[in-house]
Amino acid sequence: MTSSSEQQAVGKPGAARGGASRVSLACLACRTRHIRCDATKPVCKRCEEDGKECNYTKSRRGGLDRAALAARRERLAKQSSSTSPREGSDSVGSENHQPLATEPDSSLPLLSECFTEVNGSFPGASYLETNSTDASILSSSDPGIDPFINVYYKCFHAFHPFVLPLHRLLHYAEDSTWSNRLKPVISCVRYIGALYARSGQSGQLAMQAVDDIIEAKAVLPTCPFLCQAQLLYSIVLFWSGSRPQALSYINDTVGIATALGMSRQDFAIANSDGDPVLAESWRRTWWQLYIVDSNYAAIRRDTDFLTRDVPATVDLPCEEREYNSGVIPTPSSLADFDTREFSSENHVYSSFAYLIGSTRGVAQILAATPPDKKTSPPIELVEAVDAMIDGWLLLLPECKRPLMSKDGEIDELLFYAHMGIHASIVGLHRPYSNLLFDPLEKISSCFVCPPESHAADESTVIHTMRCLASIEAQVRIMTLPKRPFCHSPFTLCMVTTGTIPFLSACKFLLTGSKLSIAREQIRLTIGCLKSLAEVWPQGEKTVKEIQAIAREVLGLGASIPSSKTMLPSDPSSGATSSQRSPLSQNGSQSSSIEDLLFPDTIDSLPSCWDMQNPQVDMNLWFASY
């Protein structure tokens, strides 16, 4: 990579060393060497002096012409007609699937198009007619006809949208000055697409992705595209069960991004070559790196992660429709977002920005009061996180509160944010609640530490209800009409964090018809996890863990030896409640907060809870259903 000053000279139109204006066109030789070019044709002055061949690339700003588009469609048709369905496919109606569109000027396809409406399954063999012996797709050098790339954009991109939109990715891939830099990104994109396609080529594509990353590290060790590739590959490793390797990749990526200055506000413009879409991609890359790094730490029950302590001034991402269309507005600043409660303009930020806000809020509070991972979080920390989450929800604009649009599309970034904050609520409040722990929960990959012994008091009621309400909120989100359940793989731990204490509620709190309802809801959550497990190997492990815990907690005749349940309140321990305090004096939160957090769920805590015999009156608690 070039130095910072050289990057700015190359990246900013009209800004060159010495204050001279920079021409918008440069020959291939000068662009490759990252030096100034006077753009004189047919031979520039520098090439004339150095005796080098001087060539200029043809502009592609208008996209492909009709002849090129027709040729691309013809190549795609030949590709799809030369392949056949995988043997042993259990999908229904595979003959109804058509080749994926690859026109670079088309808008991002709807995520729902990724799935088979016949049986609601993931886009497996019936979607891509490929098999492990067909090397034509594997060896294809044209991203425009690669169906795995299309599957990535249809099935994964919306969950972690930092790679360039499809039409811009193809544009840069066709430019010889950018294609080598993009190579590792395209390889990782293809690999993820193959995973969703359940292709037999995924193993080979994984090796190709690793090779391209290693090559890029040797040739372009400080390239922002390398950060994108390694971030993608880290996510795949993590949810394939290779957590140490995933953490190694993301730590290396953070090091590269920090050295480049990607967390600074000026980086995106200085390194975008005048393209606002590329600048937006750089901003998104840093924030996705922060979110993923933070989520890894949350799953490890660790408050310390590398990006937490990096000063960030990078602007916030725009809305997804703006990014995909290429019409990028003036970005909003992080400083303005952090003081939005004092603004009189009622500015609506992007869904990505609100996801960043929820992630940073929880991380900053946990960092300020780091809990011992082996004990319960301090009650002060729990209350601080509650205040942050309630504030985030209250300041969410009206237009951002529905997770599903009128067209039936789920806002994946807000879905991610809501699932995450409810998982945080459950994880922090459960140790102080009456949702009892079982030692077998330690087998869970998303294990929440059990509490220290302490006596029950009136705050136990509130903590229990807070947990139950967030669990119910997660269930309601998961019942949104989208099948199969296809969201970010990080949803696996978010769902698990709510499902395991729900098992405890089924055993110790719920009875009669309310228990039957809860059991059906648990079937829903396990079904959702199984859907994710069709793509991510860690999901299959998570499902087995929950099934084993459920058999133990519910006494379903598992072969696992029974274990003594761990109670959060143990009068015999002699512990006092002096270190704990209720969240409010009257035993309830503000009604506006509760209505926003858990609409139609909680009316009056004291009326449905007997403090002498801590047991929810579920007839009252579920009255609104």
Asked whether 431 and 451 are in contact (CB, 8 A), the reply is: yes
pTM metric for this prediction: 0.71
Q: How far apart, in whole angstroms, are the C-alpha atoms of residue 337 and residue 315?
A: 10
3-state helix, strand, coil in the chain (%, to 5): 55, 0, 45
Cis amide bond preceding 311, omega within 30: no
User: In the predicted model, what is the mean pLDDT of residues 516-544?
Assistant: 93
> Over 50: is that where the pLDDT of 324 sits?
yes
Q: How far apart, in whole angstroms, are the C-alpha atoms of residue 297 and residue 305?
A: 6
> Over 90: is that where the pLDDT of 231 sits?
yes
> Over 80: is that where the pLDDT of 21 sits?
no
Instruction: Indicate whether 52 and 150 sit together in one domain.
Output: no
> Over 50: is that where the pLDDT of 599 sits?
no
Instruction: Indicate whether 46 and 148 sit together in one domain.
Output: no
Which has the minimum average pLDDT: 315-324, 512-521, 528-537, 609-618? 609-618
Q: How far apart, in whole angstroms, are the C-alpha atoms of residue 338 and residue 102?
A: 40
Q: How far apart, in whole angstroms, are the C-alpha atoms of residue 368 and residue 362?
A: 10
Identify which has the larger pLDDT, 88 or 66: 66
Q: Does residue 460 sit within a domain?
A: yes
> Which one of 56, 77, 104 terminates a domain?
56
Query: What is the structure's pLDDT at 68?
Result: 53
User: In the predicted model, what is the mean pLDDT of residues 123-135?
Assistant: 40
> Over 80: is that where the pLDDT of 100 sits?
no
Query: What is the structure's pLDDT at 85?
Result: 33
Q: Residue 51: which region, alpha, beta or left (left: phi > 0; alpha: psi -120 to 50)? A: left
Q: Does residue 128 sit within a domain?
A: no
Position 378 confidence tier, pLDDT thresholds 50, 70, 90: confident
Q: Does residue 170 sit within a domain?
A: yes
Counting every residue written for the chain, the total comes to 625
> For residue 316, how many other CB atoms are within 10 A of its CB?
20
> Which one of 556, 575, 590 terminates a domain?
556
The two structure tokens encoding residue 344: 């009189």
Query: What is the structure's pLDDT at 558?
Result: 45
Radius of gyration of the CA atoms of the chain, in A: 27
Query: What is the structure's pLDDT at 612?
Result: 36
* Measured torsion, CA atoms of residues 295, 298, 302, 305, in degrees rounded to the nearest 10: 20
> Over 80: is that where the pLDDT of 335 sits?
yes
Residues whose CB is less than 8 angstroms from the CB of residue 417 and which lie 6 or more positions away in sequence, other chains included: 351, 354, 355, 358, 359
Cα–Cα nearest to 350, from 449, 446, 284:
284
Q: Does residue 492 sit within a domain?
A: yes
Position 491 confidence tier, pLDDT thresholds 50, 70, 90: very high
Position 542 confidence tier, pLDDT thresholds 50, 70, 90: very high
Cα-based angle 273, 276, 279 (whole degrees, multiple of 5) = 70
Position 52 confidence tier, pLDDT thresholds 50, 70, 90: confident
Q: Does residue 387 sit within a domain?
A: no
Q: Fill in the DSSP letter of residue 570.
A: -
456-470 per-position pLDDT tens digit: 677 888 999 999 999
Q: Fill in the DSSP letter of residue 558.
A: -
Please name the amino acid found at residue 485.
Answer: F
Identify which has the larger pLDDT, 595 or 111: 595
Q: How far apart, in whole angstroms, are the C-alpha atoms of residue 533 and residue 516?
A: 26
Q: How far apart, in whole angstroms, are the C-alpha atoms of residue 241 and residue 477?
A: 26
Identify which has the larger pLDDT, 454 or 420: 420
> Over 80: is that where the pLDDT of 274 sits?
yes
> Which one of 13, 38, 56 terminates a domain?
56
Strand, helix or coil at 407? Answer: coil
What separation in angstroms does the CA of 213 have from each of 186, 187, 462, 483?
11, 9, 50, 34
> Over 80: is that where the pLDDT of 57 sits?
no
User: In the predicted model, what is the mean pLDDT of residues 257-269?
Assistant: 96
Position 122 confidence tier, pLDDT thresholds 50, 70, 90: very low
Q: Within 13 Å and on the Cβ side, how many CA atoms surround 328? A: 22
Identify which has the larger pLDDT, 597 or 332: 332
Q: Phi then psi for 365, rounded to 5 degrees?
A: -70, -45
**Average pLDDT score, the chain:** 76
Query: What is the structure's pLDDT at 310?
Result: 93
User: In the predicted model, what is the mean pLDDT of residues 383-406?
Assistant: 94
Query: What is the structure's pLDDT at 314?
Result: 97
Which has the minimum average pLDDT: 132-146, 374-388, 448-462? 132-146
Position 11 confidence tier, pLDDT thresholds 50, 70, 90: very low
Which has the minimum average pLDDT: 102-106, 179-183, 428-432? 102-106
144-172 per-position pLDDT tens digit: 668 999 999 999 999 999 999 999 999 99
SS3 readout for 56-110: CCCCCCCCCCHHHHHHHHHHHHHHHHCCCCCCCCCCCCHHHCCCCCCCCCCCCCC
Position 407 confidence tier, pLDDT thresholds 50, 70, 90: confident
User: In the predicted model, what is the mean pLDDT of residues 316-327?
Assistant: 96
Q: Does residue 525 sit within a domain?
A: yes
Identify which has the larger pLDDT, 122 or 462: 462
Query: What is the structure's pLDDT at 73?
Result: 54
Q: How far does Cα 112 stand from its chain's mean position?
A: 18
Query: What is the structure's pLDDT at 602?
Result: 32
Query: What is the structure's pLDDT at 141?
Result: 56
Which has the minimum average pLDDT: 34-38, 178-182, 424-428, 555-559? 555-559
Query: What is the structure's pLDDT at 17?
Result: 36
Query: What is the structure's pLDDT at 77?
Result: 55
Helix intervals (H) in 430-455: none
Position 482 confidence tier, pLDDT thresholds 50, 70, 90: confident
Query: What is the structure's pLDDT at 20?
Result: 40
Query: What is the structure's pLDDT at 249?
Result: 97
Position 46 confidence tier, pLDDT thresholds 50, 70, 90: confident
Instruction: Indicate whether 155 and 36 sit together in one domain.
Output: no
Which has the minimum average pLDDT: 61-75, 183-197, 212-226, 412-426? 61-75
What separation in angstroms does the CA of 515 have from each of 2, 78, 112?
64, 56, 33
SS3 readout for 327-381: CCCCCCCHHHHHCHHHCCCCCCCCHHHHHHHHHHHHHHHHHHCCCCCCCCCCHHH
Instruction: Indicate whether 450 and 548 sit together in one domain.
Output: yes
Q: How far does Cα 11 stand from its chain's mean position?
A: 29
466, containing H or E segment: helix 458-478
Cα–Cα nearest to 608, from 462, 500, 490:
462
Q: Does residue 622 sit within a domain?
A: no
Q: Give the count of domains, the chain.
A: 3
Asked whether 320 and 161 are in contact (CB, 8 A), the reply is: yes
Q: Does residue 325 sit within a domain?
A: no
What separation in angstroms does the CA of 379 have from each of 19, 248, 576, 593?
57, 33, 14, 20
Query: What is the structure's pLDDT at 65?
Result: 47
488-491: which pairs have CB atoms within 8 A and are 24 or more residues apart?
488/159, 488/160, 488/412, 488/416, 489/159, 489/235, 489/238, 489/239, 489/532, 489/535, 489/536, 489/538, 489/539, 490/292, 490/295, 490/416, 490/420, 491/416, 491/419, 491/528, 491/532
Cis amide bond preceding 42, omega within 30: yes
Name, of 45-59, 166-180, 439-453, the range with top average pLDDT: 166-180
What separation in angstroms does the CA of 363 have from each of 161, 293, 335?
21, 11, 17
Structural domain span for residue 521: 427-556
> Over 80: is that where the pLDDT of 261 sits?
yes
Cα–Cα nearest to 458, from 577, 595, 290:
577
The two structure tokens encoding residue 367: 């960092």
> For residue 617, how many other CB atoms are within 10 A of its CB?
12
Instruction: Indicate whether 431 and 552 sit together in one domain.
Output: yes
User: In the predicted model, what is the mean pLDDT of residues 382-401?
Assistant: 94
Q: What is the CATH number of the domain that holds 48?
A: 4.10.240.10
User: In the predicted model, what is the mean pLDDT of residues 218-223?
Assistant: 92
